[in-house]
């Protein structure tokens, strides 16, 4: 009989795991309190990269994430992600040189561009610097749509998805999990994967599993659809932006948003106004203001690194992290391998949840 695996959370991480498990024959049920891909995953900037990393191990995990997305798209060619590259001038001078050296030494594709090169690529932009870096291998994903596509692929392999059903707790008999408890009835399972983002600690605490989380709200500003302005991700000292498939410019309201440590947001509209003003300085001919701003609580474990692996009662597994956009595809592959092949992936050694447990 196929293993019955329940996944709590239908964001990028849960959807990727569901797809990989279902294609290998597991009996998968995904349970989501809201709508799939509508929490943090659907409000992501969607930048797929390994140019932002905490250390070399983290870099290699992120690089593996990009490679896994390419493998996934080869099997699901309609997946809404693409690889336009990134243009980066967040720092100049020694900061830019250091970034180039670090990435070059790691073997990451990086090119130095002159100001004239950059102006040819970004003719509508003002205030361009004397030099920039290009990361040609980087990509973007329309994350909410990708969640929908991954869950559809999982359902084609027999997975089931329950939306609008909140999980109240994880049921246990003796030393192992037996499933999930909801107000709409219990769900039996041999294994439970918690991929519920910021909702994960509340499910884990009654089982004695600690998962400290940082408060990391993030807001994204969207313009109305516009004619093509930029194909790449653009990273400047003042903002990051990209243009989606519908022509909307998407801008995190905080500059350098990947490393943003803001713990609370008190004026979302004001932040969007400020971001729009910075955008108009960069694109002086822009004839659109912001149309929408979306706020999400990013699921960042207490030390800023992913928490992935077995924890607590037998059959319980965690997969909680930021950034799910870059890491979801590789995490889906590894989790399926660990659960169905009973192996332990060396790549995840540093990221096991046991590091947070008392004693």
pLDDT digits (tens, 9 = 90+) for 23-40: 999 999 999 999 898 888
The answer on pLDDT for 1 being more than 80 is: no
pLDDT digits (tens, 9 = 90+) for 249-285: 999 998 766 666 778 888 999 999 999 999 999 999 9
pLDDT at position 59: 98
200 contacts: CB under 8 Å, gap ≥ 6: 8, 9, 194, 211, 213, 299, 318, 320
* Residue 145, CA distances (Å) to 43, 68, 81, 303, 313 in order: 11, 18, 9, 29, 34
pLDDT digits (tens, 9 = 90+) for 48-75: 999 999 999 999 999 999 999 999 999 9
Instruction: Report, as an integer, the average pLDDT of 135-160.
Output: 97
Weakest-pLDDT range from 35-44, 147-156, 158-167: 35-44
Quick check: helix, strand or coil at residue 170? strand
Q: What global pTM score does this model have?
A: 0.96
**Alpha-carbon span 289 to 307, nearest angstrom:** 38
341 contacts: CB under 8 Å, gap ≥ 6: none
Show the domains of the chain with their CATH numbers: 4-45+144-212+302-356 (3.50.50.60), 83-139+214-301 (3.30.9.10)
pLDDT at position 257: 65
Helices (H), 125-215: 143-156, 200-204
**Alpha-carbon span 267 to 277, nearest angstrom:** 16
Give me the residue label for tokens 């709590």: 8
**Length of the chain, in residues:** 359
**Alpha-carbon span 282 to 266, nearest angstrom:** 26
The answer on pLDDT for 174 being more than 70 is: yes
The answer on pLDDT for 286 being more than 90 is: yes
pLDDT at position 160: 98
3-state secondary structure 269-324: HHHHHHHHHHHHHHCCCCCCCEEEEEEEECCEECCCCCEEEECCCECEEEEECCCH
């Amino acid at each position: 009989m196929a293993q019955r695996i329940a996944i709590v959370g239908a964001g990028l991480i849960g959807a990727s795991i569901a797809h990989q498990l279902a294609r290998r024959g597991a009996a998968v049920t995904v349970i989501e309190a809201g709508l799939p891909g509508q929490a943090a995953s659907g409000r992501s900037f969607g930048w797929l990269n390994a140019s932002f990393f905490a250390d070399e191990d983290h870099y290699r995990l992120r690089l593996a994430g990009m490679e896994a997305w390419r493998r996934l798209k080869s099997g699901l060619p309609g997946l809404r992600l693409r690889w336009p590259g990134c243009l980066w001038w967040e720092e100049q001078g020694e900061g830019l040189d250091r970034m180039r050296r670090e990435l070059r030494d790691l073997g990451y594709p990086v090119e130095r561009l002159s100001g004239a090169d950059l102006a040819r690529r970004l003719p509508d932009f003002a205030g361009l610097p004397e030099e920039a870096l290009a990361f040609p291998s980087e990509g973007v994903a329309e994350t909410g749509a990708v969640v929908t596509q991954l869950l559809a692929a999982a359902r084609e392999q027999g997975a089931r998805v329950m939306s609008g059903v909140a999980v109240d707790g994880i049921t246990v008999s003796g030393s192992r999990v037996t499933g999930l408890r909801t107000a709409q009835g219990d769900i039996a399972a041999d294994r439970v994967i918690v991929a519920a983002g910021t909702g994960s600690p509340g499910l884990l605490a009654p089982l004695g599993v600690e998962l400290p989380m940082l408060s990391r709200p993030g807001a994204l500003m969207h313009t109305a659809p516009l004619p093509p302005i930029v194909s790449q991700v653009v990273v400047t000292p003042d903002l990051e932006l990209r243009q989606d498939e519908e022509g909307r410019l998407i801008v995190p309201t905080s500059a350098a948003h990947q490393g943003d440590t803001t713990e609370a947001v008190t004026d979302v509209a004001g932040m969007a106004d400020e971001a729009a003003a910075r955008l108009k300085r960069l694109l002086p001919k822009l004839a659109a203001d912001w149309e929408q701003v979306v706020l999400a609580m990013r699921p960042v474990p207490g030390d800023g690194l992913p928490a992935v692996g077995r924890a607590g009662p037998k059959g319980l597994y965690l997969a909680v992290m930021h950034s799910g956009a870059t890491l979801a595809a590789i995490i889906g592959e590894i989790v399926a391998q660990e659960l169905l092949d009973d192996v332990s992936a060396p790549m995840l050694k540093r990221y096991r949840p046991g590091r947070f447990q008392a004693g």
